[in-house]
Structure 1
């Protein structure tokens, strides 16, 4: 499958992008393909569908304590360049096989990025990173890229930010995050209740877990809500509820929350809320002080807590790319360097995960 940003047409076929009459003082609009149309154009083969189902079940088994391995969601903060993303995926697929007895590695395939104010919103929104906002091409490229990664045998993870975009990619994903800014959103809780894969709710930006507890309880219940059908029509969506949710600790304004004392407090809060204590630690964001080079320290602390017997710490997340750091979007961008949050480089990531597997073999 040939994947190229430069090959994306500015205007796709008429069936996919029909111009609409612009409203006063509004830019011209394009119709998006329905989710079923894009899935028919870029289908998920039966064997890959079975692979995704198997990966989802493996993650469920870890969350439920039936599989003793550590779940690690790892990869670029965001995908922006198909070539570097696929090179990273190839390396991760090889590493995943080598450590699969102790770690289940899931690749971050993040194509939407939340913005505090403004900025690049991700591959699905602006694949050329030039403000052209070709969302038709962005959705197509995102799906193509994820299909290539599935062919390498990798489970995939993403953060679903825009519920309308979820249906274009949901069949490819084995794990989904709901971010700190959207965990409180009723719309995202309703969306999560209908997803067929495990979902991690991040704690709020204040570092507290009460909002995430409410989100998990809400997502576990059936809902009827406004939405869009697979054919692209406004519809009443009915969901069965998602039993496979869990907490993601990412720190907050008051600092990190991955240390032993913080985790003990989280256990108490989860127990009081009647929510199962199954926890992922996001080693980036506030837990790393927004310094990507601090991620190994956070990861190793979590690993030690686990080795000392805290089986509620079932997962960790790392932001990692081919090379460490981050860069601004513009001319002369370096290959394999994040354009959003700073990342750990591949060599340090590989060493960290190989060492973890060795320690867990004990």
Structure 2
């Protein structure tokens, strides 16, 4: 007697994927790259534990779609990083995966050719190549962890990880974060609520056991130790900002009530800038002024920035794409980015060291 098919009814195909170990063996980490990643993680952990007075600045494109333009940006950022390194720790924002409310380009890993062909193996390989270049020039990389399997392929090249507003409430992402090797920033919900992110920090700090894959690509029970460096990222919500002094005080109180360190990163983009990239320098300036007035909880900021200001739709003819211009959220241009970072360094050069000494 034949049985009716019961599973995989909506699956079109299973395409083989190289294991994480195979991808890493083909694209190994150099000594220089390893030193960048380890050093970046160590410096960020020291900032979060109040041992390093610098302000963390996660800055870069909303998403990477053109590795050539991304490397152009990275070389400029590296020079700027060296210039301001006494006061600011710069990490390049490298987002390969994009959450989608409904439809749209899902990012470089899922669709590297930007034509709905979904050559994911190619996306992983090219993404890893890009991260290797960034690490080898001496820039720590920051990313958003969206797919729970991707960190097995790329996680050894990441220094800081964000969990987005749509996934901070996800048990899968909390469990994954508990095993990540980087500090992890959890964003508040898209409506501005803080509770999901605060609960996520608590959850990720604990050990977990869950299904995943190992280095050989085999299904495994992953057992984690917990991540001690979870922190809150404020990105605004429902079209309203939450970086003002009242919102910061409320966030501090929520963290304190949960028994968590009052460690906050302010996302200068998204609802905090009302998605207007030209407002990002004003958000950063406001955060700097709060620090000047005695704030001790703002330890970092995020900025969406690319070579050219604004954004562009993905055209049918990819040859017409504007070089260095975002295809997702609108970004601040390079000149304005460099100016705001230099201005922040001048404002905070002395006060950050004083704040660190007072906290210690």
Partner of 1:190: 175
Partner of 1:155: 140
How many angstroms does 1:108 deviate by? 0.5
Distance 1:27 1:337 in 2: 35
Partner of 1:358: 346
How many angstroms does 1:27 deviate by? 3.2
SS in 2 for 1:167: helix
Distance 1:323 1:311 in 2: 33
Pairing of 1:151-230 with structure 2 (within 5 A): 151-230=136-215
Unpaired stretches in structure 2, ≥5 consecutive residues:
1-7, 351-360
Partner of 1:53: 38
Flag the 1:25–1:186 CA change in 2: closer, same or farther, 3 A.
closer
**Matching of residue 279 in structure 1 with residue 264 in structure 2:** yes
SS in 2 for 1:169: helix
How many angstroms does 1:254 deviate by? 5.5
Partner of 2:358: none
Partner of 1:348: 336
Counterpart selection for 2:249 from 241, 253, 264: 264
How many angstroms does 1:239 deviate by? 0.3
User: Which moves more between the two structures, 103-112 or 23-32?
Assistant: 23-32
SS in 2 for 1:158: strand
Distance 2:294 2:324 in 1: 37
Pairing of 1:316-331 with structure 2 (within 5 A): 316-330=301-315, 331=317
Deviations 1:226-285 (A, max 9, x none): 111111111110000000110000000161100001111111111111111000000000
Displaced runs of 4 or more, over 2 A: 23-29
Distance 1:97 1:350 in 2: 12
Partner of 2:89: 104
SS in 1 for 2:335: helix
Partner of 1:312: 297
Distance 2:137 2:239 in 1: 40
Distance 2:138 2:31 in 1: 14
Distance 2:25 2:85 in 1: 33
Partner of 2:80: 95
Unpaired stretches in structure 1, ≥5 consecutive residues:
1-22
The number of aligned residues is: 341
Partner of 2:287: 302
Deviations 1:10-68 (A, max 9, x none): xxxxxxxxxxxxx6664343111111110111011234223211110000111111111
Deviations 1:162-221 (A, max 9, x none): 001111110000000000000001110110000111000001111121111110011000
Distance 1:188 1:285 in 2: 21
Distance 1:305 1:262 in 2: 12
Counterpart selection for 1:62 from 18, 22, 47: 47
**Matching of residue 40 in structure 1 with residue 25 in structure 2:** yes
Distance 1:215 1:189 in 2: 6
Partner of 2:117: 132
Distance 2:11 2:180 in 1: 34
How many angstroms does 1:297 deviate by? 0.8
Partner of 1:113: 98
CA contact (8 A) 2:239 2:274 kept: no
Partner of 2:4: none
Q: TM-score, normalised by structure 2?
A: 0.93
Flag the 1:24–1:224 CA change in 2: closer, same or farther, 3 A.
closer
